């Protein structure tokens, strides 16, 4: 399950550093290239809740295998693609991989003995941070000096095939429950999330005040309201409304949104900041994609990976609530350090290491919080909603940073003509917002999650219900 989590995190970030090269090699416009990442997020938001529910009802093995097969097909198509349209379709298929995380948590909840459950969940969840960092590093290494972008998809293909083999060998079959799956609710939720995330990711290009942007936001409100109304009437809903409003679950989901925002905010801002030509802008490091990945991003990825076992120990010893609070405070400190101290390589690496470490620890704590406060048969869908909140937070964080770097700009004169670059203040605001959302996650952990679960929870037994 850790390998599946590492894979989905890697697939999400692997594409980010090579988007400019994809545009150049496929002769595609910037707006078209943007859909290479947008399509993945849209499909992931649509299928993740359904996959989680299917796992809860029919057992986790079938949907895990199905998601990996679709992801594998997407990797094959990406390797073979020679047009931007096919690549967008391939990345859409790879979006199924993001549904693996809640399924992985559900497998652990049902199969691990109670005394090992917290540690297993923490280590698996910490692979989200490690995989995200590894994706950035691998992309820089594989595509250095203008290398063919398809190399990263060969890596995706090999890794996906390997994870599929591990799942076939190690994930047991589990008897399902005689309950129906609310496909109508799944369709409504998917429609609402797509209508929400599409303008969030494209609003800067379309204009935030355009009719299309506003119309999609209104459509999202209508679809999601209809989804809530439908779930309230279902005997076997896709997502129980009582689950969404249960205070510890709600606080954990909001914290996930904040951490997702922070991750995309500081990592995206740092990537552009590092690659800014210092002689021209007066800030930045004129870093290449390779040096950005290896010198600046890799240390944080390594630390996040090493913190996996440590996080498991901390969660078991201090409790998931305390660990999430500490992770939020550490992330806030790291992001604020980037805001005020970003002139030397050591300062940048230190800030990024702290932020990435905080992400890994926070991701380790949240599944444990959910496990303490939902019944085992609701583990999959609870983690699905948590994953969606993280995705929404990341999409909003990306949109906010992109808007900041597009609006707060300055013109610089060069022999070849004027060059427009973001101001240093734009990056400081982005880092500051990341710190603020980290701090919000810490506050939510303290105020929203009780010191002990409100009702009894026994891993793998189905005891306890959400009050």
Lowest mean pLDDT among 71-80, 93-102, 175-184, 347-356: 175-184
Q: Which pair of tokens denotes residue 279?
A: 């002689």
Lowest mean pLDDT among 74-88, 274-288, 403-417: 403-417
Distance CA(119)–CA(316), nearest Å, equals 7
Superfamily of domain 2-170+238-448: MFS general substrate transporter like domains (1.20.1250.20)
2-20 as b/e: b if 16+ CB within 10 A: bbbbbbbbbbbbbbbbbbe
Locate all alpha helices (DSSP H) within 178-246, ordered by sequence. Answer: 183-206, 211-233, 241-245
With a cut of 60, say whether residue 463 has pLDDT above it: no
Q: Which pair of tokens denotes residue 347?
A: 């300062």
User: pLDDT tier at 315 (50, 70, 90 boundaries)?
Assistant: confident
The mean predicted confidence, pLDDT, of the chain is 86
Q: Which of 160, 193, 167 is nearest to 11 (CA)?
A: 160
Distance CA(311)–CA(323), nearest Å, equals 8
Query: What pLDDT is recorded for position 4?
Result: 81
Q: What is the pLDDT of residues 278-308, one digit of tens each?
A: 999 999 999 987 888 889 988 988 888 788 7
Is the sign of the CA dihedral 202, 96, 117, 313 positive or negative? negative
Q: What is the pLDDT of residues 363-392, one digit of tens each?
A: 889 988 988 888 877 777 788 889 889 888
* DSSP class of 416: T
- Domain range summary for the chain, segments of one domain joined by +: 2-170+238-448, 182-237
The SS3 assignment for 419 reads strand
With a cut of 80, say whether residue 29 has pLDDT above it: no
With a cut of 60, say whether residue 466 has pLDDT above it: no
Q: What is the pLDDT of residues 430-452, one digit of tens each?
A: 999 999 999 999 999 999 988 76
Using alpha carbons only, how large is the chain's radius of gyration in Å?
Answer: 21
Do residues 351 and 331 make contact, with C-beta atoms less than 8 angstroms apart?
Answer: no
Share of the chain above pLDDT 90, in %: 40
Query: What pLDDT is recorded for position 128?
Result: 78
With a cut of 80, say whether residue 118 has pLDDT above it: no
Q: Which of 111, 116, 77 is nearest to 93 (CA)?
A: 77
Q: What is the pLDDT of residues 129-160, one digit of tens each?
A: 778 778 878 888 888 877 888 999 999 999 99
């Amino acid at each position: 399950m850790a390998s599946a989590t590492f894979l989905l995190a890697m697939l999400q970030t692997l594409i980010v550093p090579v988007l400019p090269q994809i545009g150049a090699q496929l002769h595609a416009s910037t707006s078209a290239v943007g859909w290479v990442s947008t399509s993945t997020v849209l499909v992931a938001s649509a299928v993740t809740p359904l996959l989680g529910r299917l796992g809860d009802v029919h057992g986790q093995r079938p949907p895990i295998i199905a998601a990996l097969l679709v992801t594998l097909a997407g990797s094959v198509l990406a390797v073979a693609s020679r047009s931007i349209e096919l690549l967008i379709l391939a990345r859409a298929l790879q979006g199924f991989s993001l549904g693996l995380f809640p399924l992985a948590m559900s497998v652990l909840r049902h199969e691990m003995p109670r005394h090992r459950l917290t540690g297993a969940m923490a280590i698996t969840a910490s692979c989200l941070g490690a995989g995200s960092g590894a994706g950035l590093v691998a992309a820089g290494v594989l595509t250095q000096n203008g290398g063919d972008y398809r190399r990263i998809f060969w890596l995706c293909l090999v890794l996906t095939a390997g994870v599929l083999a591990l799942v076939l060998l190690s994930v047991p079959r589990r008897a399902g429950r005689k309950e129906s799956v609310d496909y109508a609710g799944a369709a409504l939720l998917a429609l609402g999330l797509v209508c929400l995330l599409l303008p969030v990711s494209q609003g800067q290009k379309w204009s935030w005040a355009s009719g299309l942007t506003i119309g999609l936001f209104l459509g999202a409100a209508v679809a999601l309201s209809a989804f809530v109304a439908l779930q309230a009437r279902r005997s076997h809903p896709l997502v129980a409304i009582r689950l969404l409003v249960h205070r510890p679950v709600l606080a954990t989901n909001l914290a996930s949104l904040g951490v997702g925002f922070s991750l995309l905010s500081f990592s995206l801002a740092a990537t552009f900041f590092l690659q800014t030509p210092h002689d021209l802008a007066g800030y930045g490091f004129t870093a290449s994609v390779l040096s950005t990945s290896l010198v600046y991003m890799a240390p944080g990825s390594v630390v996040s990976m090493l913190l996996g076992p440590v996080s498991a120990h901390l969660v078991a010893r201090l409790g998931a609530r305390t660990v999430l609070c500490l992770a939020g405070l550490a992330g806030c400190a790291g992001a604020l350090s980037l805001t005020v101290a970003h002139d030397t390589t050591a300062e940048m690496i230190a800030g990024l290491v702290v932020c990435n470490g905080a992400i890994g620890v926070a991701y380790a704590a949240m599944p444990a919080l959910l496990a303490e406060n939902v019944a085992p048969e609701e583990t999959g869908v609870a983690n699905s909603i948590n994953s969606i909140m993280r995705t929404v937070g990341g999409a909003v964080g990306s949109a906010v940073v992109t808007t900041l770097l597009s609006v707060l700009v300055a013109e610089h004169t060069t022999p070849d003509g004027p060059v427009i670059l973001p101001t240093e203040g734009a990056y400081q605001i982005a880092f500051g917002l990341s710190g603020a959302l980290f701090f919000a996650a810490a506050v939510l952990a303290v105020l929203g999650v009780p010191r002990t679960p409100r009702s009894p929870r026994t891993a793998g037994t189905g005891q306890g219900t959400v009050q």
